[in-house]
Amino acid sequence: MADIANYLFIQVHDDGAGKRLDKFLASKDLGLSRSQIQNLIQSGHIKVRGHAGTSPSLRIQAGDGIDIHIPALKPLSVEPVPILLDIIYEDRNLLVLEKPAGLVVHPGAGDEDYTLVHGLLYHCQDLSGIGGYLRPGIVHRLDKDTSGLMVVAKNDEAHRQLTEQFKAGKIDKTYLALVYGRPKDMSGRMNLAIGRHPVDRKKMSTRSRRGRSAITEWRVVEELRGASLLSLKIYTGRTHQIRVHMSSLGHPVLGDSLYRGPSKFRLGNTVIPIPRQMLHSACLQFAHPITGEKMKWESSLPEDMISVLEGLRGLNA
């Protein structure tokens, strides 16, 4: 990855007149996603007619000159750590892995020294730069206590293409979850916007004043005594989406204390401890970002979820 900034100049001709600035630049094959272009515009790195700080929705005119400054990537202050990663597929462009429950994806408060990013830096030497930093190409995330399949981009083009697939809803993501109670229907679809909780900033909520569209489909796989095993597909990638939607439906994910999911399941004298939120990324499908080949991976339930599931099945006996 080059450590120098890039400068580009684009002249607008008649075929670009009247178009939005961000859409026009996204069509120019600059190796940048539309969201990256929007960030550059809003941070003053793109000038139209010599003026910075314009809006992504600015309508450009024939004859306009556009100056683009792509700043040099900054090193991320994260040291590689030899973490054992369960990689199930890898090529020069991407890798697919099974993230265990308990492993945080990105460094943050309280999780600064041992994350998936640390392990990826140790495993791969040729990772894409995202968000202005030299760091592993995390295309999507799983919560700390969610297990299962993730895809990681290993170069900028793979990252850009996968990001576009996610935004266009072309990547199929299926989860398995153990939830409290039994839904009244065997399947359903939720389309409730999700945003930051108005009071508790650690939580997301369907009652946020600034929520973004979130779509989740669910299907009952197995009815249990006081609980259910669900298969869920998400068509948007909002923070805590499945957890928030299922809680709002009255069926929180077992073990998800943040959204009222019980940490133990009690029936008579039987108590089944729930070690973490019972949510697993079980299937991932997408087109290879470079070759276009259709690819699919499936993941079995991990041991801790199997243990809880078997315990719940025992209550039915």
Find the CATH number of the domain harbouring 261.
3.30.2350.10
Domain total in the chain: 3
- pLDDT for 75: 55
How is 85-113 classified by DSSP, letter by letter? -EEEEE-SSEEEEEEPTT--SS-BTTBSS
Tokens standing for residue 244: 């928030």
Specify whether 111 is located in the same domain as 42. Answer: no
Specify whether 182 is located in the same domain as 304. Answer: yes
- pLDDT for 231: 98
> pLDDT for 33-56, tens place per residue?
677 788 788 778 888 988 876 788
DSSP bridge pairs for 204: 196
With pLDDT > 90 as the criterion, what percentage of the chain qualifies?
Answer: 50
Domain encompassing residue 123: 75-167
Tokens standing for residue 105: 């994806």
Q: 0.75 cut: is pTM over it?
A: yes
Specify whether 130 is located in the same domain as 191. Answer: no
Instruction: Return the higher-pLDDT residue of 108 and 299.
Output: 299
Residue ending a domain, choose from 132, 167, 202: 167
Specify whether 104 is located in the same domain as 177. Answer: no
- pLDDT for 191: 95
- pLDDT for 148: 98
Is 1 part of a structural domain of the chain?
no
Average confidence (pLDDT) over 229-251: 95
- Is the pLDDT at 244 greater than 90? The verdict is yes
**Closest to 190 (Cα-Cα) out of 148, 140, 235:** 235
Separation of alpha carbons 45 and 52, rounded Å: 7
Neighbours of 116 (CB within 10 A): 24
> pLDDT for 111-128, tens place per residue?
667 888 888 888 886 665
Residue ending a domain, choose from 72, 95, 122: 72
The answer to which of 124-138, 154-168, 238-252 has the lowest mean pLDDT is 124-138
Residue ending a domain, choose from 127, 145, 167: 167
- pLDDT for 9: 87
Instruction: Return the higher-pLDDT residue of 62 and 28.
Output: 62
Separation of alpha carbons 277 and 285, rounded Å: 24
> pLDDT for 188-225, tens place per residue?
999 999 998 888 878 999 988 888 899 999 999 999 98
CB 52 within 8 A of CB 113: no
Specify whether 84 is located in the same domain as 63. Answer: no
Specify whether 278 is located in the same domain as 187. Answer: yes
- pLDDT for 282: 98
- pLDDT for 2: 38
Specify whether 299 is located in the same domain as 179. Answer: yes
Is 259 part of a structural domain of the chain?
yes
* Phi, psi (deg, nearest 5) at residue 226: 80, 5
| Annotated catalytic residue within 22, 64, 143, 156 | 143
- What does the mean pLDDT of the chain come to? 87
Specify whether 68 is located in the same domain as 80. Answer: no
Confidence of residue 4 (pLDDT cuts 50, 70, 90): very low
Separation of alpha carbons 190 and 183, rounded Å: 13
Specify whether 283 is located in the same domain as 201. Answer: yes
- pLDDT for 166: 87
With pLDDT > 70 as the criterion, what percentage of the chain qualifies?
Answer: 89
The answer to which of 16-25, 84-93, 111-120, 157-166 has the lowest mean pLDDT is 111-120
Spell out where the chain has E strands.
6-11, 46-48, 65-70, 74-75, 86-90, 94-99, 129-130, 133-134, 137-138, 147-153, 172-180, 187-191, 195-196, 204-205, 215-224, 227-234, 264-267, 270-273, 279-287, 294-298
Tokens standing for residue 265: 């399941």
> For the domain that residue 51 is a member of, what is the CATH number?
3.10.290.10
DSSP bridge pairs for 230: 177, 220
DSSP bridge pairs for 11: 65
Q: Is 143 a catalytic residue?
A: yes
Specify whether 194 is located in the same domain as 227. Answer: yes
Is 37 part of a structural domain of the chain?
yes
- pLDDT for 3: 41
Specify whether 57 is located in the same domain as 101. Answer: no
> pLDDT for 58-80, tens place per residue?
899 999 988 888 776 555 567 78
- pLDDT for 1: 35
